[in-house]
Amino acid sequence: MLFSTTAILAIGIVVSLLLAFLALERALRRNDKPRLFLSGFLIITALYFVATNVLQVGVSDWPLLFRWLKIPLALAMVPSFYLFARQLISSHPSPKHHLFLHAVPSLLVLLLNLPILWAPGTAGLKQASPVGWWINLINQHVVFAILFLQMVGYTLRLMLRYPRYTVMFEQWYSTVPRRHQLRFRWLITLFFGFYLLLDTYLVGLIIDLSRYQQYYTALLVAYVPLMGWLGMEIEMLPRPAKHNGEKPTALVDNAHEDNIVPETLNHDRQAALLSSEQKTALFARLNTYLEQHEPYCNPQLSLADLAQALETNSKYLSAVINEHCGCNFFSLINSRRVAKVQQLMNNEAYRGYSLLGLAQTAGFNSKSAFIAAFKRHTGLTPSAWAAQNAPHIAK
């Protein structure tokens, strides 16, 4: 090949670190905190390539240090990528103590391999020596067991969570361009391929790595820019906000909805945290949910309740409503309720209902709020509109 294995790995290191920086910058600029896991995965990959390169070159006493780090780094790749992929299809961040549990396998092997650093040179790693015997025991048996348990554990975890993830995936990615669905599937496929290539024992059963080492290394390195690019281009779910014990604001009496201060005071700032595609997708999901489930018929509906149902952030949702509808949350909900009352007025099944009875069915919980909202959105009082369009309705 044109490049040596060392040069290929050096390219992989540079590319991985560059993509990690770009992912970190995007995570901070767009407030896409889950993309921090992508940055972490790329940094771990770069360090793995460094360890592999140093072990091949054999610089001074460095091989001992990187022999100690290499396997724990490989074990850390799966959890970091799993956490990133999970956040792509779930709006709930992982608790901090769960993040530590994902790091336990790599930390355990790191501690068990500590005798490598005490070995007097590479000669101390020979199997005949006590240190060599221990290192071979750990890396040939314990590591194999941890790898097996890790793969089984994450597979079972995905299987148990698959139904919920499927719902999240369909609800979110069905409202964004199809390319994001394809990118997600390609990202998962590429990672499985990348992780299988990391297992040199498995690859060695298929090809003679001593003859095709350069091609093998080039293929391994080529996966990195593809995964990094896909990971940065996939649309992220808007993140839910922590309510910090705040009591949701219910629609008790909305007679003066236009004068109500919205929950988000700076909508421009909140909207700027979302891309145009994210805002469009969230607005589409909002309309679909309102049409299919009619949550506004619940008189106690709040912005926080609606945001939770949409798996998003109440501030983002408020900002999107203001940007796309030109009104606040209360006005949007009351306009839907008014439309529902008009629909019920022309529904034979509700013949004989009073106007107040229809209003309560649509979600209004007071007569004054109903009359004020109806007049604001139609220009007529409920009785005047009914006289023109539904004379059979009882006053």
CA distance 241 to 249: 15
CB 214 within 8 A of CB 8: yes
**What is the pTM (predicted TM-score) of this model?**
0.57
- In this predicted model, what pLDDT tens digit does every residue of 212-225 receive, in sequence order? 888 888 998 999 99
171 token code pair: 């609800």
Least confident of 21-30, 54-63, 108-117: 54-63
Only one residue has tokens 């203001």, namely: 322
Least confident of 25-29, 46-50, 90-94: 90-94
Mean pLDDT of 164-184: 59
Give the CA angle between residues 202, 19, 65 to the nearest 5°: 55
Tell me the average pLDDT of the chain. 76
Residue 144 has pLDDT above 80, yes or no: no
Same fold across 5-233 and 257-389: no
Q: What is the DSSP letter of 349?
A: G
The pLDDT > 70 percentage for the chain reads 71
- Consecutive H or E run containing 313: none
CA distance 160 to 41: 24
Architecture of the domain spanning 5-233: Up-down Bundle (1.20)
Mean pLDDT of 273-301: 85
38 token code pair: 């992508």
Least confident of 11-25, 28-42, 159-173, 348-362: 159-173
pLDDT of residue 11: 93
Mean pLDDT of 139-154: 74
CA distance 286 to 308: 11
pLDDT of residue 326: 85
Mean pLDDT of 40-60: 83
CA distance 88 to 148: 25
Spatial CB neighbours of 85, under 8 Å, sequence gap ≥ 6: 187, 188, 191
pLDDT of residue 247: 39
Query: Is domain 257-389 given the CATH code 1.10.10.60 in the classification?
Result: yes
CB 32 within 8 A of CB 313: no
- In this predicted model, what pLDDT tens digit does every residue of 86-140 receive, in sequence order? 777 665 566 677 778 888 888 888 888 777 776 655 444 555 567 667 777 777 7
47 token code pair: 């360090």
pLDDT of residue 45: 93
Residue 316 has pLDDT above 80, yes or no: yes
- Domain borders along the chain are 5-233, 257-389
- In this predicted model, what pLDDT tens digit does every residue of 240-264 receive, in sequence order? 444 334 433 333 334 344 443 334 3
